[in-house]
């Protein structure tokens, strides 16, 4: 634990993180924020199958306990340097497909979370690590961070949604370039392309993520959850997002949060959506 506390200066949070049933995560709730730390620093936080399922379980658990999730990697070298290659080196096609399907379930759980999930990235976010970051709603990174999908170097394609989310985030042409070359990009280029939301100093990484979550948490939880779902509808086959928006807009008028928000506006006071 000392390496995490020393890296981020957050001993008040991480000194007593809850391991519970997790083998490769450390999870802590503090001030209505769920901190999920990938804890395999000796493996550059490589994502094995068990670890991914633990992320899914922790994220599902946080939905009713927190206003938001911050996901990050232990140590200073990597958010997650990719999948654990040794685990699947001998897989056949059926096992590979099952691995991909399980990974997609994890990424979808993060993407569809009704509370915001922010990836705090320090170091490498490659392969599955980049896919994990892209499944989060927002991404904040340090200047030393590196991003890429190098699966073509292994005779593979990305298996956790990288071929779909990367072009959606940065555009088809540049997305294809990174997918086909396996090249890495730095944090500044990642921000310019729209892959990440901000580049900050290492000491500001978690505070910036916390500030974002608290800013979002001050808004209507119902509206936040619906907004996330509506944006996700944009990428779903057979779903008309415009129609979904109209339906969701109408539903909001039946909520107590709508009454609180409009009353606060009309009476020139700050809305309290969580009273």
The residues annotated as belonging to the active site are 131, 151
The residues with which 71 forms a beta bridge, in sequence order, are 36, 119
The residues with which 38 forms a beta bridge, in sequence order, are 25, 73
**Residue ranges in 76-125 assigned as alpha helix (H):** 85-88, 93-111
Measure CA 150 to chain center: 20
Share of the chain residues as helix, strand and coil, in percent rounded to the nearest 5: 50, 15, 30
Give the Cα-Cα-Cα angle 74, 124, 142 (nearest 5 degrees): 80
Residue pair 112/229 in contact by the 8 Å Cβ criterion: yes
Q: 259-264: long-range contacts (C-beta < 8 A, 24 or more apart)?
A: 260/220, 261/220
Residue 38 backbone phi and psi in degrees, to 5: -75, 120
Task: Work out the end-to-end distance of the chain between its first and last CA atoms, rounded to an integer number of angstroms.
Answer: 36
DSSP class per residue in 244-266 = HHHHHHHHHTTSHHHHHHHHHHH
Residue pair 106/81 in contact by the 8 Å Cβ criterion: no
Looking up tokens 């009476």, which residue turns up?
267
CA-nearest of 154, 130, 151 to 141 is 130
Measure CA 67 to chain center: 14
């Amino acid at each position: 634990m000392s390496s995490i506390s020393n890296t981020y200066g957050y001993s008040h949070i991480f000194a007593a993180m809850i391991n519970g049933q997790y083998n490769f995560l450390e999870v802590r709730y503090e001030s209505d924020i769920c901190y999920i730390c990938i804890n395999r620093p000796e493996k550059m936080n490589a994502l094995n199958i068990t670890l991914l399922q633990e992320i899914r379980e922790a994220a599902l658990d946080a939905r009713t306990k927190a206003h938001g999730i911050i996901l990050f990697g232990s140590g200073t070298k990597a958010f997650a340097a990719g999948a654990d290659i040794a685990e699947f080196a001998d897989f056949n096609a059926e096992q590979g497909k099952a691995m991909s399907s399980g990974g997609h379930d994890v990424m979808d759980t993060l993407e569809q979370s009704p509370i915001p999930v922010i990836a705090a990235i320090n170091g490498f976010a490659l392969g599955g690590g980049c896919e994990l970051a892209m499944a989060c709603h927002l991404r904040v990174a340090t200047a030393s961070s590196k991003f890429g999908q190098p699966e073509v170097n292994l005779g593979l394609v990305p298996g956790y949604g990288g071929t779909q989310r990367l072009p959606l985030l940065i555009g088809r042409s540049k997305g294809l370039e990174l997918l086909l070359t396996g090249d890495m990009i730095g944090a500044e280029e990642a921000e310019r392309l729209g892959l990440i939301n901000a580049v900050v100093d290492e000491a500001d990484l978690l505070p910036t993520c916390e500030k974002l979550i608290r800013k979002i948490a001050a808004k209507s939880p119902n509206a936040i959850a619906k907004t996330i779902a509506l944006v996700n509808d944009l990428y779903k086959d057979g779903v008309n997002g415009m129609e979904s928006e109209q339906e969701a807009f109408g539903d909001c008028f039946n909520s107590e949060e709508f009454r609180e928000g409009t009353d606060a506006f009309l009476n020139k006071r700050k809305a309290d959506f969580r009273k």
